[in-house]
Structure 1
Amino acid sequence: MTDEYKAINWNRIEDMIDKLTWEKLVEQFWTDTRIPVSNDINDWNTLSKSEQDMIAKVFGGLTLLDTLQSQDGIEALKQSSLTQHEEAVYNNIEFMESMHAKSYSAIFSTLNTKSEIDDIFEWTHSNAMLQKKAKIINDIYQNGTELQIKVGSVLLESFLFYSGFYAPLYYLGNSKLTNVAEIIKLILRDESVHGTYIGYKFQIGYNQLNKTDQEELKNWAYDLLFKLYENEIDYTSYLYDDIGWTEDVAVFLRYNANKALQNLGFDPLFPDTAEDVDPIIMNGISTGTSNHDFFSQVGNGYLVGMVESMEDSDYDMWVK
């Protein structure tokens, strides 16, 4: 008997969330070449050497995490796809994670010299705290269960990126590096959908477990988050101590750690709320993008997706 190869049929949808997410991701499609980063060179030249060094390392770290997600994370998620449409959504996410990683190189090539760029990438390969969080997540991708892989992915998408997102959002709020921030906001918009979707898929599997297995997995997820948080605080201190931002970034981290837990359907771990985060940062997350492409609406305004724990009907309302 020959094996049947099954064509994907988008007219017969098993989970409507797959279709809605696909449409949302296509609607949001963008490329780094549409954003005129060169317009930020004057702003860049007004920054201190400490600030320039911090930004370079921030984007180097984000590049490494996006590379991990595009090369290993999404591939691991595909192994547990419930439908062909779910796998198609992961293919879309995988491509955009590669786009994110490339966009940082577009920023580097505009603002940094060749030798500075080489130093940035050498730093990403050797920084112990950056490598530690990548190793923790990748070990889960390589050896974890299907649901553990989804937990690791959501914590990466919805938490670990945010120590890096803080800096460009802060400069945006002070009318600096606005085009660099435009790229970050487009990435934020994508990551919001990615984290929400993968969290939704996690909850499907989690709700099928018995109470004992649910409790064991939940405890494992909280332990993982706390281990990542301890390392992330050290990483944040390394990046931001010299310019005095460490505690403000830490508040932002805790806020987003809670959002990651909510994506998984779990209760928050930290007391920090949106009211505790610097309003400049919250404004940068929620306001619309500039439209740099006169032939497309891709960059013309959005709200970062809500990341509360959601039922299907809530997701349908959000994705529209």
Structure 2
Amino acid sequence: MATLTRVKVLNPAQPNKSTAIFGGQASGILNWNDLAHPHFYTLRQKIRSLFWTANEVDMTQDVKQFPNLSKAEQEAFLKIIGLLATLDGPQTVVAMKIADFATDPSVKSIMATIADQESEHNHSYAYVLSSVTTLDKQMASFEMGRTDEVLMKRNERIVDIYNEFAENPTIETVLKAMVYTTLLEGLFFYSGFAFFYNLARHQKMVGTSTMISYINRDELQHGKAISDIFRAALAENPEYNTEDFTEWIYNQFRHSVEQEIIWSRYVLGEIEGIDLDEMAGYVKYRANKMLRMLGLSEIYPEFTDNPMKWIRAYVDNFDDTKTDFFEQTSRQYVKTSDLNGFDDL
């Protein structure tokens, strides 16, 4: 199996239009009007249209409300922030590593944009925690990714797949890393998102929920972009488009759904307002959506519709200048209105 090498910054002897996403030839000169995959331009534009920063979100009310949350809600809040930080930190690094080995300069640009946004997501978790709790609890929350046994078990395969790509970059390992990137963007965050949206629908921690909705929008676009790049790379390397690889992907999704349900029952078990069976169905619904984005069939035919209808309000109720669900300060979210669409929850 041929090892991928880091692409040179500039290689003028090669064409501007890349000959392959990975392992091809390209000069390194990026002309958005001369791409091997022209729709990658639209992918980047949609991601760029979602620019925001954590300190734009008003946390004043959350600061007052956090001490009044129940003990179970406070513990879940800190554990889930710990989970999200554990997942989003590596996403910055993986996006940059994919960029390192991508021949196509448009893919490098998309991954650079994704890496920047993932970095802001990670910053947002620190921003939320520093707003509502003490330094020792902030530190403990960020330690969870390497100390909580349930969380570490849940993340075992993510660690293995990402580190395998980092240590042995090949077409196969980058394809597998992109599968897990879509799982992170489209599945692994969602029981955590549901927790914050559930608080908001009870008029609690609305600032945090607003922040999460911004992250949620980003992740939907990241998942779409990376699944499109995955499909294009697989089409360029049909020798990997095998029944064995397809079954490997299905197995990873089944395992990931199982782990996400275990995690949701562990962290949300005492949270009023979340039905754990409904949550399990929602996880399976998300898995079906991500499989379709990868060009594969659904594996949970009984969950083709969203069983948690209430959660859609926390994304569907945003547009360019509309106030959020609880009438916070109006703010412009998407800079370019014709790029406002995205895959719904």
TM bracket (short chain): 0.7 to 0.9
| 1:159–1:257 CA contact under 8 A, matched in 2 | yes
Select which of 50, 56, 77 maps to 1:55.
77
Structure 2 residue aligned with 1:19? 41
* Structure 1 residue 209 displacement after superposition: 5.3
TM-fit CA distance, 1:307: 7.0
Distance 1:211 1:13, change over 3 A: closer
Residues 28 and 105 of structure 2 are in contact (CA less than 8 Å); yes or no, is this contact kept in structure 1?
A: no
Q: Percent identity?
A: 24
Is structure 2 residue 231 aligned with structure 1 residue 203?
yes
**Which residue of 150, 153, 169 corresponds with 2:181?**
153
Partner of 1:39: 61
Letter in 2 for 1:177: M
Please say if residues 62 and 161 of structure 1, whose CA atoms lie closer than 8 Å, have aligned partners that are also in contact.
yes
Which runs of 5 or more structure 2 residues have no equivalent in the other structure? 1-9, 13-26, 166-171
Cα 1:248–1:84 change in 2 (3 A) is same
Are residues 231 and 52 of structure 1, via their aligned partners in 2, closer, same or farther at CA, if it must alter by over 3 Å?
same
Q: Specify which of 83, 89, 93 is matched with residue 114 of structure 2.
A: 93
State the alpha-carbon separation in 1 of the partners of residues 149 and 75 from structure 2: 17
- Relative contact order higher in (CA < 8 Å, ≥ 6 apart): 1
- Conservation of the 8 A alpha-carbon contact between 1:263 and 1:307: no
Q: Determine if the alignment matches structure 1 residue 255 to structure 2 residue 289.
A: no
Deviations for 1:281-302, whole angstroms, at most 9, x for unmatched residues?
1222322164778785548999
Partner of 1:272: 303
Aligned positions of 1:1-320 closer than 5 A: 4=12, 6-71=28-93, 73-144=94-165, 145=172, 146-208=174-236, 210=238, 213-243=241-271, 245=274, 246-270=276-300, 271-277=302-308, 279-288=309-318, 290=323, 296-298=332-334, 305-306=342-343
1:54-96 Cα deviation digits (max 9, x unpaired): 011111100110001112x213422553520111110000011
1:39: Cα distance to partner?
2.4
The CA RMSD over aligned residues, in Å, is 2.7
Query: CA contact under 8 A between 2:49 and 2:336: conserved in structure 1?
Result: no
In structure 2, distance between residues paired with 1:125 and 1:66 = 14
Cα distance in structure 2, aligned partners of 1:88 and 1:162 = 27
User: How many residue pairs get matched?
Assistant: 305
Q: Equivalent residue of 1:207, what SS?
A: helix
Q: 2:195·2:268 contact (CA, 8 Å) conserved in 1? A: no
Q: Please give the secondary structure, in 1, of the residue aligned with 2:137.
A: helix
Kept in 2, the 8 Å contact 1:63–1:104? The answer is yes
- Change in CA separation of 1:16 and 1:175 when aligned onto 2, cut-off 3 Å: farther
Contact persistence 1:154–1:198 (CA under 8 A): yes
Would the aligned equivalents of 1:56 and 1:120 in 2 still touch at CA under 8 Å? yes
Larger fraction in helix: 1
